Amino acid sequence: MIKRAFNFTDGKTGASLAVRVIVRAASDHLGGMSEDNVLKIRLMSLTVTAANADLISFFSRRLGIPRTKIEIVAGKNKSNKLVSFEGYSAAGLEEKLELLLE
């Protein structure tokens, strides 16, 4: 198994993850890692702004985290976003994402 260097940060209330959203994809799926270690997420959303709710739903379904614990804290109008996971550690989320990317 390849160990990836996700862009996680532990904070006072949980972990944050830097992601790059790519819109107008054929399906919602993980797009791998970019050259700068940012997780790429491909979504069927038509715009980056419309992708915000879809991104939260995507993480909720894939990681089994309630939507109320996930928030986009930066980049709401951009493809590069910072997503916060309240009450979750960076190590725990990294482990879940590793399993999804295998």
pLDDT along the chain (102 residues), means of 10: 53 84 95 85 94 96 94 93 91 85 70
Answer whether 9's CB lies under 8 Å from 90's CB.
yes
Q: Taking the domains of the chain in order of start, what are their residue ranges?
A: 8-101
C-alpha 102/C-alpha 56 separation (Å) is 21
Query: What pLDDT was estimated at residue 3?
Result: 45
How far, in Å, CA of 39 to CA of 47, rounded?
Answer: 18
What's the pLDDT score for residue 2? 41
CATH class of 8-101: alpha beta
The one-letter code for the residue type at 65 is I
User: What is the distance between the alpha carbons of residues 92 and 55, in angstroms, rounded to a whole number?
Assistant: 19
Contacts of 92 (CB under 8 A, 6+ apart): 15
Asked if 84 and 70 count as a contact pair (C-beta separation under 8 A), the reply is yes
Instruction: Say what the pTM is.
Output: 0.85
